[in-house]
Amino acid sequence: MNAITIGTALDPAVEVSRAKHVQYIYQRVLDALLREDVRACVSGATLVSPAALPAEFGKYETAACAWLKVSHFGDGVLWIPVNRASFMQDWHSTDLPLLWQEGGQARELYAVEDVIACFSHGLAPGAASLFNAFADECKLALSHREKSEAERERWFSELTTAGTDVIPSDGHARLLHYDRLGAFLDHPLYPTARAKLGFDEEALAAYGPEFQRSFLLHWLAVPRAFYHPSIDGEQGWPALWPRFEDVGLDAAMVDTHALVPVHPFVWEHQLDAFLRESGLHEEVIRAPQPYLTVAPTLSVRTVVLLDAPEWHLKLPLTIRTLGAKNIRTIKPSTIRDGHRIQTALGAIAAREPSIAGRLLLTDEECGAHVDNRMFLGYILRHYPAEVLRDSTLIPVASLMAPTPSGELVAEEVAAQFYAGDVAAFFNDYLDLTLRLHLLLWLRYGIALESNQQNSVIVVSRSEPRLRLLLKDNDAARIHLDDFRRRWPDLALHLAGLQDQRIAVAEQLPLAQMFTTITLQLNIAVLVERLAPILGRPTAALYANVRQRIEAVLTELAAEGEEIALARRVLLEDDRLYIKYLLIAATLAEKTETGAADVNKFYGRSAPNFLRPT
């Protein structure tokens, strides 16, 4: 296949494997371009039959597909072969090449970089450069995917050859196990999610969750004048937090300095430049000895302290994931904001019988930043120790991941805790997820960015059998004025929120968040994959989702909540809101989209799978 290539492979098996990865990336990219209507490739195109193709493309006249004729990309004409879709977009790509006409020349496009070049045709240099950078991102996604898939095959072979129980018996190890399985599964919608921009293959293997290798943290001694902890006294920090002598510094420095952990990738590659740029290079001291052994979790920049695995540590990491603009630093305001929202959620759960005891939260009170710098800071996340000891924790992002046995993680969960009944497990999950998030939205005006990584199912053999654990809640949207008016006692928990983007003045942003996170990522993606396993059409499963939404809405309406917007947006409108991740995070500047947050730029173009057909 004449597509993205990396080096030259002589082994035919390697070439076959590479061709599959190439086609995978190619189709994901093209589907994303169609889904987000990039450069109006759908809305500005003409839909034609194969018979309308130019004579030079006559061999495709009998193809069983339609074609989008795109005539507004500069001086060329792009022909995109498509078939009807129903999930998240009207059209999806076929396995035929795209066709390009320009200046009397006609050619077939097999390489994703050639497709992207056509999409950038006719743009000003600045805008075209974003598309060129995305082509490089596609190459990196292929490279990282190849390396990661080879590691998955090696790891699965190792587990099955060992002849022991693949699933660890220790609760901490189980969470890491399922994190690693989920790391091999791409984000459902961002096309080059496997690319970790900034990592080469060596860094990917050293620090990526697919490989889950342990490493030691580095430490900076920071003058206390520049150090801003989230709570005074640092009494809540882990017992194994280093002393100055542990990292090779004078113990007397405790009176003048504080220790700040630094990810070894940042320590090696960017730290010196950051310190010089910020004027801190003469103020801080590099500790000569690393300390604390950690391993990466699903979110890459969050690591687990292996000697105290109930503690996870979120660190700035100067890579970008899910888009060129998504650099994984830590905004200082999020350190306290996340804890404020966490405490509000805990207070809400305590007063709501329908979710009391079924909502768990990590404690994220401890953290610090240095002089308001996003590259120097951290957040400590503490998991309830008894939950990790007695239950199995699995990120929602991992539920659709294949296991060494060939089953999905969801099937494995059903086998262990639901007597093999996948439908019963999914219905239990569905009821809890919908009840929790619809209640938060419609009663309290809160929508959480509880995506597939931030939502963790907690399953056990005792009751309640299924619970949800939420973490990393600093990016919520809250109708703050309404919340203060209705719940003045709870509003005290949210006093002093620093990120101005959290507060919204109307209900629509809450509907958009619920739709694009809870409904689409955390429910619909599972429906699409579970339907064939259950032997049922997706429409039947979506009817089930609709019925359960209607039931919760009816209950909330009977209790006096206003449900009209939710009913209209979720159940009645022809179109659902959708995140335009590729446009906002990679292909356009913020000045063009107007989005304050690249992860919250919405269109309204997804077919509503909840409407009866």
Q: Are 580 and 36 a contacting pair, CB within 8 Å?
A: yes
Q: How many CB atoms lie within 10 A of CB 98?
A: 23
> What 8-state DSSP symbol labels residue 249?
S
**How distant, in Å, are the alpha carbons of 26, 37, 109, 588 from that of 123?**
22, 16, 20, 12
Residue 4's pLDDT is: 44
Return phi, psi of residue 216, to 5°: -100, 145
Is 90 exceeded by the pLDDT of residue 111? yes
pLDDT in tens, 288-297: 999 999 999 9
Burial class from Cβ neighbours inside 10 Å (0-12, 13-18, 19+) for residue 500 reads: exposed
* Residue 42: both structure tokens together: 């759908």
The residue type of 200 is D
> What 8-state DSSP symbol labels residue 487?
-
Helix ranges (DSSP H) in 209-285? 264-269, 271-278
Is 90 exceeded by the pLDDT of residue 15? no
Q: How many CB atoms lie within 10 A of CB 539?
A: 14
Q: Rounded CA gap, 25 and 43, in Å?
A: 24
> What 8-state DSSP symbol labels residue 234?
G
pLDDT in tens, 436-487: 999 999 999 999 999 999 999 999 999 999 999 999 999 999 999 999 999 9
Q: Are 516 and 351 a contacting pair, CB within 8 Å?
A: no
Is 60 exceeded by the pLDDT of residue 9? no
- The pTM (predicted TM-score) of the whole model is 0.95
Residue 99's pLDDT is: 97
Which three-class secondary structure state does DSSP give residue 488?
A: helix
Q: Rounded CA gap, 543 and 420, in Å?
A: 23
Which has the higher per-residue pLDDT, 382 or 7? 382
Cα dihedral angle (395, 396, 398, 401), rounded to 10 degrees?
170
Residue 532's pLDDT is: 96
Q: What CATH architecture does domain 12-126 belong to?
A: 2-Layer Sandwich (3.30)
The residue type of 474 is D
Mean pLDDT of 7-34: 86
The neighbouring-strand residues paired with 509 are none
Is 60 exceeded by the pLDDT of residue 10? no
pLDDT in tens, 225-245: 999 999 987 678 999 999 999
Q: Are 348 and 207 a contacting pair, CB within 8 Å?
A: no
> Where exactly are the structural domains of the chain?
12-126, 395-607
Is 90 exceeded by the pLDDT of residue 488? yes
Q: Are 259 and 287 a contacting pair, CB within 8 Å?
A: yes
CATH for 395-607?
Answer: 1.10.510.40
pLDDT in tens, 386-396: 888 889 999 99
Residue 164's pLDDT is: 67
Q: Rounded CA gap, 310 and 292, in Å?
A: 14
Q: Hunting for tokens 């032997």 — which residue is that?
A: 535
Q: Are 108 and 77 a contacting pair, CB within 8 Å?
A: no
* Residue 46: both structure tokens together: 């003409």
Which has the higher per-residue pLDDT, 328 or 12? 328
Average pLDDT, the chain: 95
pLDDT in tens, 175-224: 999 999 999 999 999 999 999 999 999 999 999 999 999 999 999 999 99
